[in-house]
Amino acid sequence: RLKHENVVEFIEYSVATDFETMSLLAPHLANGNLMDYVRQEFDTNRRLGLARDVTNGLQYLHSREPPIVHGNLHPFNVLVSETGKAVLDDYGLEALDIHHLSATNRIVSVRWSSPEVNLGDPAIIQSDMWS
């Protein structure tokens, strides 16, 4: 299990019998996603703190053995905790080590994805940095 203040800790997951889809159960975070949260008026230090939270979460994922690549990082996949911390969500398949699910079945956001991911290549650590 992954345990870090800037990474959602999944409670449960299930894989459909056709192995084409999976569902993840995670705690509800009342402040919603980062895209909606930053529409509020915040000073520069608060915004930098949220960015630091995201990079801390990525550093944690990337430092696992083997490294976990988020692969679909964008503001809708970053949630905000009750204490105002940014928390990475939807890092999914790599973290769960479910090899029978194809990475190509994942839906990624073209707007936030790196060029190589948009071309169909697998996500790598550098892809997360692009996002």
| Domains contained in the chain, number | 1
- Helix, coil or strand: residue 50: helix
68-123 per-position pLDDT tens digit: 988 888 999 999 999 999 999 987 554 454 444 444 455 557 788 888 888 888 88
Q: Who's near 62: CB < 8 A, 6+ residues apart?
A: 68, 69, 125, 128
What DSSP element (H or E) covers 95?
helix 92-96
Say what the pLDDT of residue 4 is. 96
Q: Is residue 109 part of a domain?
A: yes
Q: Is residue 2 part of a domain?
A: no
In the chain, what are the helix, strand and coil shares in percent, each to the nearest 5? Answer: 35, 15, 55
Q: Which residues share a beta bridge with 86?
A: 80
Q: Is residue 118 part of a domain?
A: yes
3-61 per-position pLDDT tens digit: 999 999 877 777 777 767 767 777 888 899 999 999 998 899 999 999 999 999 999 99
Q: Is residue 54 part of a domain?
A: yes
Q: Is residue 108 part of a domain?
A: yes
Say what the pLDDT of residue 107 is. 58
CA atoms within 13 A on the CB side of 5: 9
Q: Is residue 123 part of a domain?
A: yes
Q: Which CATH number do you get for residue 101?
A: 1.10.510.10
Say what the pLDDT of residue 19 is. 66
Residue 119 structural domain:
12-130
Q: Is residue 69 part of a domain?
A: yes
Report how far apart the first and last C-alpha atoms of the chain are (Å, whole number): 25
Q: Is residue 4 part of a domain?
A: no
54-71 per-position pLDDT tens digit: 999 999 999 999 999 888
